[in-house]
Amino acid sequence: MGRFVLPLGLFVLWWASTASGAVKSYQLAGPRDVLRELGDLAQSGALWHDLGASIERVACGFAIAFALALVLGSVVGGSRRAERALDPTLQAVRAVPSLAWVPLILLWLGIGETAKITLVAIGAFFPIYVALVAGIRGVDRKLVEVGTSFGLSRVALVSRVLVPATLPQLLVGARIGLTQAWLFVVAAELLAATSGLGFLLTDGQQTARTDEILVAILLFAACGKLSESGMRVLERRLVGWTDTVPA
Amino acid sequence: MSRQAATTEAARIRRLRKAFGTHLVFDGLDLDVARGERVAILGASGCGKSTLLRCIAGLERPDDGTIVTAGEIGIIFQEPRLFPWLNVKRNVAFAARTDAERARVDNVLAMVGMLHAADRLPKALSGGMAQRVALARSLVRDPALLLLDEPFAALDALRRIELRVAVREILEFTRAGAILVTHDVDDALALADRVIVLAGSPAEIVFSGTVGETATRTAILAALGVNEHGLHGRRATAS
């Protein structure tokens, strides 16, 4: 029960301060206004349109990032030579705050979907890549040796020992990557968009509609939380065998 | 002994040479293990006994010499080394390649007394149980030779005795040969027909004796450079 106290308290404070008029609605809309706005947006179809647009960008960007990280992470994790050739550059790129790429991306790709998906992919890529390389490096050499002692081929060694041994780390990386993807879709949609939850944010700002802004914020929170919980369920399902304290 | 009547050896090692960097572990080691024979290898830590086992298992590549083995080889390490993502049954089945071997999984699990835990994950096993499962896994291919690399070292005294009895019974039952690397004279005397002591650098066989004949506790300890009575002797002079 303890975990509900703070959110409930905040909600009551929000409701009381807006309902009493202590805080003006152009500064902060009350719960009832936000709910009404949510209903209006749902009825007009704008809600589903914007929600769908954001989810699509996150899904595409994340999928691209995951595929790229899987390939590059496997190559770098699997070969010292590839690590020497690729990893320093990738680490240098990682050190650049991802939003610093925005001007270049806008110049190169314009303000269309490609630019937004690219930005999401950049944000989601590195957590997955880093986790996968660490996972491959961290595979227990002794387990690999068991496979070798049974005469497993290289392919069998990868599929029966290395892949399952790396999966927990990869899933943790994917979970963090997905959270990053939601972070970056906001940034992408704030810059230039005519749809998406980030568009709701800017639209609300330009029209001084705090209820619209709050709807967008709440939806972002819900999406982020839902995708995070989904990834955790996936982790429990796929790698429940790990003998560690659940994070 | 009838086992010695076998014509071909379970393992034949000739002129084995193995170095790690500048450290020469073996330089021309010869060793024969007859089919069904159980050989214990003792020696100080780092003398090369595990390296010898790993060479036989194919986990280390010898620099020179030949190692010929007959039939399947099973290996058990100091730690169980079970795959944490597979349950007990699937861990054992990991080694199976044919339907016949897959059909043996339940048998070998019953042999080590772990059939009741077939569905458990390794994280739910105690150290002794996990090592039993590892033993079962090494038996799935019906090996002619079992390689045991200090398999009891990580167990407490009671589990150690239990597992030693289990290994002994299994070796009697399967008639598999075995090479047991250990630092424990009691393990060697309980399980082996023949005891070998490795010493020196590069390592050589400085003692080889049959259990019940020349391989007595005192003789083995002497070969290991341990004086059984050293402590008593000193106490006697002190009082």
Please report residues of B whose CB lies closer than 8 A to that of A243: 84, 122-123
Segment of A142-146, B45-49, B202-206 carrying the highest mean pLDDT: A142-146
Q: Is there a contact between B168 and B11 (Cβ–Cβ < 8 Å)?
A: no
Range of the domain at B116: 10-238
pTM: 0.84
What's chain A's Rg over C-alpha atoms? 22
Could you report the predicted ipTM of this complex, rounded to two decimals? 0.84
Would you call A149 and B59 a contact, using CB atoms and an 8 Å cutoff?
yes
Q: How confident is the model at residue A103 (pLDDT cuts 50, 70, 90)?
A: confident
Q: Is there a contact between B45 and B57 (Cβ–Cβ < 8 Å)?
A: no
**For residue A138, how many other CB atoms are within 10 A of its CB?**
13
Q: How confident is the model at residue A222 (pLDDT cuts 50, 70, 90)?
A: very high
Q: How confident is the model at residue B222 (pLDDT cuts 50, 70, 90)?
A: confident
Asked if the C-beta of B96 comes within 8 angstroms of chain A's C-beta atoms, the answer is: no
Find the residue in B nearest to A165 (Cα).
B85
Tell which residue, A116, A142, A124, has the closest CA to residue A57: A116
Q: How confident is the model at residue B231 (pLDDT cuts 50, 70, 90)?
A: low
Mean pLDDT estimate for chain B: 88
* Structure confidence by residue, pLDDT tens digits, A235-244: 999 998 887 7
Q: Is pLDDT at A224 greater than 70 in this prediction?
A: yes
Q: Is pLDDT at A226 greater than 50 in this prediction?
A: yes
Burial B104-120 (b: 16+ CB within 10 A, else e): bbeebbebbebbebbeb
Specify if B2 maps to a domain: no
Q: Is pLDDT at B6 greater than 60 in this prediction?
A: no
- CATH, residue B93: 3.40.50.300
Asked if the C-beta of B75 comes within 8 angstroms of chain A's C-beta atoms, the answer is: yes
pLDDT score at B189? 92
Which two three-digit tokens encode residue A118?
């690219």
pLDDT score at B230? 56
- B14/A25: higher pLDDT: B14
Specify if B1 maps to a domain: no
Asked if the C-beta of B123 comes within 8 angstroms of chain A's C-beta atoms, the answer is: yes
Asked if the C-beta of B61 comes within 8 angstroms of chain A's C-beta atoms, the answer is: no
Q: What gap in Å lies between CA B16 and CA B27, rounded to an integer?
A: 6
Q: How far is A127 from chain B (nearest CA, A)?
A: 24
The sign one gets for the Cα dihedral A79, A82, A84, A88 is negative
Which two three-digit tokens encode residue A6?
């703070």
* Structure confidence by residue, pLDDT tens digits, B161-192: 999 999 999 998 888 999 999 989 999 999 99
Q: Is pLDDT at A112 greater than 90 in this prediction?
A: no
DSSP string, chain A: -HHHHHHHHHHHHHHHHHHTTSS-TTT---HHHHHHHHHHHHHHSHHHHHHHHHHHHHHHHHHHHHHHHHHHHHHHHH-HHHHHHHHHHHHHHHHS-GGGGHHHHHHHHTTSHHHHHHHHHHHHHHHHHHHHHHHHHTS-HHHHHHHHHTT--HHHHIIIIIHHHHHHHHHHHHHHHHHHHHHHHHHHHHHS-SSSHHHHHHHHHHTT-HHHHHHHHHHHHHHHHHHHHHHHHHHHHHHTT--S---
Domain count, chain B: 1
pLDDT score at B7? 45
Q: Is pLDDT at A246 greater than 70 in this prediction?
A: no
Q: Is pLDDT at B18 greater than 80 in this prediction?
A: yes
Asked if the C-beta of A164 comes within 8 angstroms of chain B's C-beta atoms, the answer is: yes
Specify if B104 maps to a domain: yes
Q: Which amino acid is at B228?
A: E
Specify if B49 maps to a domain: yes
Q: Is pLDDT at B156 greater than 50 in this prediction?
A: yes
pLDDT score at B1? 32
* Domain A31-237, CATH class in plain words: mainly alpha
Tell which residue, B71, B69, B110, B72, has the closest CA to residue B92: B110
Closest residue to A146, CB basis, from B58, B81, B122: B81
